[in-house]
Amino acid sequence: MFRRLIQAMNFLCAQPEWDGKTLVVYGSSQGGFQAFAAAGLDERVTFFAAGVPAGCDHTGMEVNRVAGWPKFPMVDKTGGKNTKALEASRYFDAVNFAARTKAKAGIVTVGFIDTTCPPTSVYAAYNALPLQNKSIYNDIPSGHSNSPQAVKAMTDAAVAQLKAGKE
C-alpha cells in the first residue's frame, strides 16, 4: 500500500500540470492512514488531511490505550505480550509517519465516539506531528465517519493552504 502511494505521487508529480511545489494528500479512515503515510514518506507533500485516520497508535496497549484499526493482536498464544509484534508494528504506525512529515500544514479529524479508531489513537498521531500549522477537528457527536462539518473543516483547510501557496 505504501509503495503504491509513492508511485501515485511520482505519477502526479511527473505531469506537466504539476506546479512543482504543491502536493496535497487527503483521505479518511484507511485513506487518512495513507495520508499520514504519504506525508511521512515523501517530502514533496505540502499539506495533508486525515479524517478519522486508521493505523494510529498500534502500541497503545503499552500505556493502557486502545489502538486504532486494525487493532493488531499484540499478545502471543499464551496471552503474554508479543514483543516482536509490538516492535514491528511501530514501522507502519501513523504515529511514526506523523513524526517524519515535512509537510507545511495538516488537519486531522477525530470522532469522539469512534470505536474503530478511538480518539486516543488519533490524538497520539496528531501529537507526534512536528508541524507549526496543524489543526484537529473534534467531531464530538461522530463515530467512525466525517460529519458534514468535519468534511468542511478539511476542505476549507486544504483550500486555504492552496491559496497560501499561490501568494
- Grid cell digits, residue 139: 467531531
| Residue 54 DSSP label | S
Q: Which residues pair with 107 in a beta bridge?
A: 49, 135
Q: Which helix (H) or strand (E) segment is 154 a member of?
A: helix 148-166
Report whether 69 contacts 94 (CB < 8 A).
no
Question: What pLDDT, on the 0 to 100 scale, is given for residue 77?
Answer: 82
CB-CB neighbours of 20 under 10 Å: 7
* pLDDT one digit per residue (tens) for the chain, 167 residues: 999 999 999 999 999 999 999 999 999 999 999 999 999 999 999 999 999 999 999 888 888 888 889 887 777 788 888 888 878 888 889 999 999 999 999 999 999 999 999 999 999 999 999 999 999 999 999 999 999 999 999 999 999 998 887 65
- Residue-level pLDDT at 167: 58
Q: Which helix (H) or strand (E) holds 133?
A: strand 133-139
Q: In this structure, what are the phi and psi dihedrals at residue 111, rounded to the nearest 5 degrees?
A: -90, 125
Assigned superfamily of 2-13+26-150: Alpha/Beta hydrolase fold, catalytic domain (3.40.50.1820)
Domain coordinates of the chain in residue numbers? 2-13+26-150
pLDDT number for residue 84: 84
Q: How confident is the model at residue 166, as a pLDDT?
A: 67
Tell me how far CA of residue 45 lies from CA of 12, 41, 105, in angstroms.
12, 9, 9
